[in-house]
Structure 1
Amino acid sequence: MDKLDALRRRLERELPALLEHHRVPAAVLAVAVGEETATAAAGVLNLGTGVTATTDSVFQIGSITKVWTATLVLQLVDEGLVDLDAPVQRYLPELKLGDAAVTVRQLLSHTAGFEGDLFTDTGPGDDAVEKFVATLDGVAQLFPPGELFSYNNAGYVVLGRLVEVLRGKHYEDCLREYLGTPLKLQQFSPNALDAIRFRAALGHLEPEPGADLVPAPFWSMLRSNGPAGSSLAMSAADLVAFARMHLAGGAGVLSAESAAAMVERQVSLPPLGIMGDAWGLGWELFDTPAGQVYGHDGNTIGQAAFLRLVPESDLVVALLTNGGDAMGLYADLVPALLKEFGGVEVSLPPRPPEEPEPFAADRYLGTYASAVADLVVSQDDDGRVWLEQRPKGTAAELSSASKSELVLLEGDTLILREAQGGIHLPLVFLGDDGTGRARYVHSGRATRRAE
């Protein structure tokens, strides 16, 4: 396709300058329309070694892995081995969640309601997922299953264990056998031992805001969180092949009914502006005037990945990066490509108003606690409202405490005045604790008031 050839040449010219502007060491961008693909690469995969990026380089896809896990689960549905609306404990009787009624569907759509940002190191062995699920005994139930959306990493590890038990194989082997092999993937790496066979990107971090990027101290996160996205890596071409399978109605890997079910709206999200408008069974759904867009984003240690599909245009856009302002690079590239080749317009993350309006803060003040951080909302003597983020556990090893001003965006949504990681984080305050104060603060995850 002449248009895609022209795009490839344009990207090869423009991508290096965009990487420099956003301080992204390396990126690979693939745009596929039907069976034709334009791919461009630029930058350095590892600032410590100087290895350059090529179009077949392997990057981690982070939480995009969740769509792969969901696909493995829907294959089990196709075979009559799983009922989406059955309690997951039917298949994992040893699982002791806070609410035994949690269903497979609720895990897939992030509505299970239990504490989800749990990153317990259960070792590097093949039993890491099994051991992780055993640590969920008595995990906090934040809200009744099905009540609202709250992004849940641990829930996807449970789904990975479901796949292991019903297949009688380890999760990574299931990825290879049921997705990698039938899709004929060429640079596909479920873990670090596989990734070293390829031209693999390393993530990069800022030791402190504004500092020069440095290579990440390790390549991947914990093996125990593999089904949620801690280690799966691949080339942009392999990610596009997976997306094309879904656009083609499963293409023999998944039934057409299950492929369609994965993009059916299961739950609407609070008005965040940094995620989709709704969630399906694995896929993140974006509402646009011209039709549906779906996809997923992923972040690991110093790497970020973005995937978007436009079914009406048979379009896939995949962007893989290894540090810096990846969201800024996404904003400069992906929305314009979706409009040019897919005829759809997606919104960018919100920004704070230049002249914020005053607001009554009493409903929002207090401490909201999760396993990974305490979020403290306070007001100073001048009436300004502040968010203090205090990481805990593993998160405290990767980030430090921060304090940022919050201003009113709209309704019950406040937003950080200063950007973090290229995003002005919005916070939606939900519910009532019985005294008129918000019960939850929501930033993709619902964090419950502690005081």
Structure 2
Amino acid sequence: MSDQSRALPDRPNLRYLKLEAKRRLSSGEFTTLHQAQLAIAREHGQSSWTALKEHIEGSHALAQMRWAISRFAPAGTPGWNPPDEEELRRHFDDRYLSLVPTDWVIRLFDTLTKRLREGLTDVRAEPLRLRARLGDLRVEAATESEPPYRLRQLRFYPLEGKADDPRVASPPTRDSGTVPAEAAAVAEHSFTELGLVGLLVAGATGDGPAWVTARGWANLDQGDALLPEHRFPAYSITKLITATTVLRLVADGRVQLDAPANTYLRTIRLADDAVTVRQLLSHAGGVDNPTSMFADRVPDLVSVTGPVAACGGTPGTYAYGHGEYAMLGQLITDVTGSRYEDVAARWVLEPLGMSTSWFPTEPPTTGVVTGHHLTDGGVFERVPAQVAVVPAAGGLWTTAADLVRFGTAWSSLLPDELAREALSPQAEFEGGDAGLGWGLVRPKDIAGHPGAGPGFSASLIIRPSTGQTWVVVTNRKVLVEPINERLALPLD
């Protein structure tokens, strides 16, 4: 091995250096290829072969991100103008801009101006990929594999508080079904990065069997490993069950989407007679939210809403909440003459084989996951279990596999035209549209719903064009949608 430092040529050739390493291995100068590559790297002033490779090839993803920072960080200063479509197309590929229109790109960076001025930290760059930190956000980026190396993926998501609890240092893993390698990798990485106690990641193609990977603990105090069959509160994902139940009433001709909801309500009425069933389904009814959503036991709905539910919002304008779905649950009860929970089970859960799903009236204690909270000191504490006071808005307890069953097969319960209408825009919100129960991000071919409450977070998304489904659940209240986006829209 030479101890002479060598300068790289102006345009170094990595292929030549690879061949040089193999030649020196064959000559007997080294016993392994790794030793030969390491020697060549050090001879050229780099600490490792990976560092040499990155030095030679550079990071196109990092270069594009630096362009974005230099271009958007001055936003709001005198003389600054946003890039036009032609300029953006020099840095983002056509597919990305078909998923995220140019005006969305500009609005996105406009929200990041302060962070962009702080610059990137914790940079881990590869030639075509980048992971870095931007203030309190994690950045992931990937470029095309060929010149001009435009960005084909770029996403930002919040970083969570660091967990210093030694009890989560070596999380166990339990699988059910054939878990894709990329899903297992996402689960492993997300568990540490988000600071979790337990994480369930599940999915299926439209016609394939469900798979589930469970990582961490169901109950940290007791050291109980999290299992794929553990049950948990789905919270607001319940709204998809409720919407499907209402749409079954529509399919049977017992309810009309554009009829006033008060046409069908008996026990509790809406203060506004003009609010329609369609508006309730799409969060555009203006119905007030309950003052509290969680309790130790499910109360009578009238004690939550009163005999006349207030409508302080603007009908026809999207405003996400729980009040509309409280009234849809009552509508189901009034039209059928049966409890909401019984109708939803009979018309949705049972036909789809969701045998481990139900609506408890008080927190269950057997076979369920315990919620946790991360203290300021980085230690996890148990969160007392509660149930949603409005079952139709957040009362479902379920398993990851059951949610996958719903995601892949819910539309089979409805006529095709009505299922398509459920996934059609009814009201617009920032970053997407509201369908009939579903949140829609049409450019990305994604529909879904999150759920979050005391000690838990969950996310269900589907790809309408293929029927693919992904589910993420954790027993800590954090933002989990980025995990699902990694599964549905991988950088690779």
C-alpha spacing 1:123/1:44, structure 2 compared with 1 (3 Å)? closer
Secondary structure at the residue paired with 2:386? coil
Listed as ranges, the gaps of 5+ residues in structure 2 are 1-175
What code does the residue aligned with 1:244 have?
T
- Please, which of 469, 472, 483 is the counterpart of residue 316 of structure 1? 469
What displacement does 1:38 show? 3.1
- Please, which of 120, 138, 141 is the counterpart of residue 312 of structure 2? 141
Asked if structure 2 preserves the Cα contact closer than 8 Å seen for 1:63 and 1:298, the reply is yes
**Who is 1:337 aligned against?**
487
- Please, which of 396, 415, 424 is the counterpart of residue 264 of structure 1? 424
C-alpha spacing 1:12/1:140, structure 2 compared with 1 (3 Å)? closer
What displacement does 1:285 show? 0.4
**Who is 1:216 aligned against?**
383
- Max radius of gyration: which structure? 2
Asked if structure 2 preserves the Cα contact closer than 8 Å seen for 1:130 and 1:161, the reply is no
Asked if structure 1 preserves the Cα contact closer than 8 Å seen for 2:243 and 2:281, the reply is yes
C-alpha spacing 1:210/1:278, structure 2 compared with 1 (3 Å)? farther
Identical residues among aligned pairs (%)? 28
**Who is 1:108 aligned against?**
281
**Who is 2:18 aligned against?**
none
C-alpha spacing 1:122/1:94, structure 2 compared with 1 (3 Å)? farther
- Please, which of 274, 285, 295 is the counterpart of residue 448 of structure 2? 295
Alignment of 1:12-161 (within 5 A): 12=184, 15-16=187-188, 18-36=190-208, 37-119=210-292, 124=297, 128-133=300-305, 135=306, 137=308, 139-143=310-314, 145-146=315-316, 148-161=317-330
Quote the Cα distance in structure 2 between the aligned partners of 1:235 and 1:320.
Answer: 9
Quote the Cα distance in structure 1 between the aligned partners of 2:185 and 2:364.
Answer: 29
Quote the Cα distance in structure 1 between the aligned partners of 2:458 and 2:475.
Answer: 9
Give CA-to-partner distance per residue, 1:209-240, whole Å, 9 cap, x none. 454221112x2234x311111x3111111001
**Who is 1:394 aligned against?**
none
Quote the Cα distance in structure 2 between the aligned partners of 1:112 and 1:99.
Answer: 9
What code does the residue aligned with 2:464 have?
P
What code does the residue aligned with 1:302 have?
G
Give CA-to-partner distance per residue, 1:175-226, whole Å, 9 cap, x none. 22111211122321311669545x211221245x454221112x2234x311
Quote the Cα distance in structure 2 between the aligned partners of 1:6 and 1:140.
Answer: 48
What code does the residue aligned with 2:469 have?
V
Quote the Cα distance in structure 1 between the aligned partners of 2:341 and 2:417.
Answer: 25
What code does the residue aligned with 1:268 have?
E
Give CA-to-partner distance per residue, 1:326-368, whole Å, 9 cap, x none. 32x542x322321249x9xxxxxxxxxxxxxxxxxxxxxxxxx
What code does the residue aligned with 2:308 have?
D
Asked if structure 1 preserves the Cα contact closer than 8 Å seen for 2:294 and 2:387, the reply is no
* 2:437 is the alignment partner of 1:282: yes
Asked if structure 1 preserves the Cα contact closer than 8 Å seen for 2:267 and 2:334, the reply is no
**Who is 1:205 aligned against?**
373
Secondary structure at the residue paired with 2:459? strand
Quote the Cα distance in structure 1 between the aligned partners of 2:490 and 2:286.
Answer: 39
What displacement does 1:132 show? 3.2
TM-score by length of 1: 0.64
- Please, which of 213, 217, 225 is the counterpart of residue 390 of structure 2? 225
What displacement does 1:241 show? 0.7
RMSD over equivalenced CA pairs, Å? 2.7
**Higher RCO, 1 vs 2 (CA within 8 Å, ≥6 residues apart):** 1
What code does the residue aligned with 2:406 have?
F
Asked if structure 1 preserves the Cα contact closer than 8 Å seen for 2:200 and 2:473, the reply is yes
**Who is 1:357 aligned against?**
none
Asked if structure 2 preserves the Cα contact closer than 8 Å seen for 1:59 and 1:321, the reply is no
Quote the Cα distance in structure 1 between the aligned partners of 2:223 and 2:286.
Answer: 44
Listed as ranges, the gaps of 5+ residues in structure 1 are 344-451
Asked if structure 1 preserves the Cα contact closer than 8 Å seen for 2:177 and 2:211, the reply is yes
Quote the Cα distance in structure 2 between the aligned partners of 1:77 and 1:296.
Answer: 22
Quote the Cα distance in structure 2 between the aligned partners of 1:241 and 1:142.
Answer: 35
Secondary structure at the residue paired with 2:437? coil
Asked if structure 2 preserves the Cα contact closer than 8 Å seen for 1:118 and 1:153, the reply is no
What displacement does 1:319 show? 0.5
Asked if structure 2 preserves the Cα contact closer than 8 Å seen for 1:8 and 1:40, the reply is no
TM-score by length of 2: 0.59
Give CA-to-partner distance per residue, 1:81-126, whole Å, 9 cap, x none. 101111111111453433221111111111111322533789946x
Give CA-to-partner distance per residue, 1:151-197, whole Å, 9 cap, x none. 12011011001111112111211222111211122321311669545
